[in-house]
Amino acid sequence: MKAIELDTRDRILDVAERLFAEHGIDAVSVRKITAAAKVNLAAVNYYFGSKDGLIGAVVERRVAPLSQRQVQALDAVRKGGKGRAPRLDLILEAFCRPMIEQAMDPKAGGAVFGRFMVRCLADPNPIVGKKVAEHFGSVGKRFYEMLVQAVPGMPQEDLWWRMHLLMGGLHHCLMILTVHKASSGRRCMKMDADKYVKRFVSFAAAALKVRI
Partner DNA sequence: GTATAATTCAAACGTATGTTTGAATTCTGG
Partner DNA sequence: CCAGAATTCAAACATACGTTTGAATTATAC
Write out the residues near DNA by the rule CB under 7 A: 7-8, 29-32, 39-47, 50-52
Q: Which stretch binds a second copy (CB under 8 A): 70-78, 99-107, 132-140, 197-205?
A: 197-205
Examine residue 113 and tell whether it contacts a second copy (CB under 8 A).
no
Specify the long-range contacts of residues 192-196, CB closer than 8 Å, at least 24 apart.
192/104, 193/97, 193/100, 193/101, 193/104, 193/105, 196/100, 196/104
> 3-state SS of the chain: helix, strand, coil percent to 5?
80, 0, 20
Nearer to a second copy, 85 or 179 (CB): 179
Output the CA–CA distances (angstroms, integers) from residue 184 to 111, 112, 180, in the order listed: 10, 10, 6
CB 111, min distance to DNA, A: 24
**Which one among 45, 168, 187, 192 touches a second copy, defined by CB under 8 A?**
168
Residues that bind a second copy (CB under 8 A): 23-24, 26-27, 119, 122-125, 158, 161-162, 164-173, 175-176, 198-200, 202-207, 209-212
